[in-house]
Chains A and B, each alone.
Chain A
């Protein structure tokens, strides 16, 4: 295992165009269907509803008819953590190494059978990207038949979250090795379920280390700023916390970009550049 991901390793990431997103919810359902996410009779308490991919609805808080809304799909951000060294907020706190950082992919994993449900990672994640299985997963009679063997259903009492459809990466990698391409995976070979399903084409997925990939071209990540986007219309959620997410958002709308982070009065506009620590102290 190499300790830096600036070498040949992949750094899979996602770019979501918020001006294209229509809030239709296909990404959420594609994710649930791909990843055997269970459901309950009442899912209206959004704070205990398992949605690896969720869509936030933001408003500009202006009165009629100046009101505007923006839908913001939120998968797991697969944070690189401070200094982009892989000490994501959640990975660094998990006491049992049940969630880990893949230095070869940049993907934050979750091992359901190792997790013992302390939920410390959930407290650590500012994006609410982690979900706890408060209940045993239950499908109506017969409906278990549609479950996919690629992702094991989780038992009650453990934390789960978006994996960037890691099983799809494994499949693509296996195929590449089988075809003697080593891990030379084409851009189209590994796409997450939400990316594939998005009917608006708002989601782009690929390797942020590969300048040929769309994700790279869209945001132009700055390697000296832990991947901070150089495209002025692109931003990452809570950039100032230095979590260094691998999910980027693009919007032409200023209020949307502003909503992506916290600013004290007067700060927006003369954006304070977060000083990126060179890692964990």
Chain B
């Protein structure tokens, strides 16, 4: 990949016609760009979802920005984002490295690890809600008092339960990314390291990790930006409660729009979500360095 010559680069650029992107772009415009402008417009109106849409200037924005619940939603979202990353990144990196190797039992385990990803978020949430029920759940059923805690009803505990369930569902996905990343590292690097007398731990830190730089950035971006989109799982699991303890920004937007029927304020929240998501994605790309087409071999 590092030996791309001038001529083949031009061939790449003139290669596939730009028109091939047209169908995807058309759908993207229809379902993402146009609604986005719709939401931006609605954020300057007041609308209860039924009657007429009235222009209302900045009042939705002042409502949203002065509402302490919005601040709390931002804080909860940031916490979930941070803890999700701290929990998911190391686990999926290690699992990815583990499952990348060729042994049969590892392949079998990789298939098992993959299962949660195949389940819908709503199903995962309903299952965990039943398991964690303090009166009828796993703890009560097995007679284990430790497991019979009020997992979803305790304002301080619930955040970590949500982080755990999210990790349970999404670690397999990131494991898959890392597995693919590890498999692309040339075996010759490891052979050379072995000859030089490097142990497994040294190989991991000096070859695997640096070689995976861009895989890590990819996975981290998905984790961080994805945190802004957690909705279905949390909605079914806790409904944003108890109180406002797990009312994430997207959930806050939904409840404002569809429960309180304040579409203006919900749209303002939606615009906030887009801006924050874009900013985070761009920031993470910057962290990855500008010259991202450079060889990954240099890291070794």
Asked if A and B bind, the verdict is no
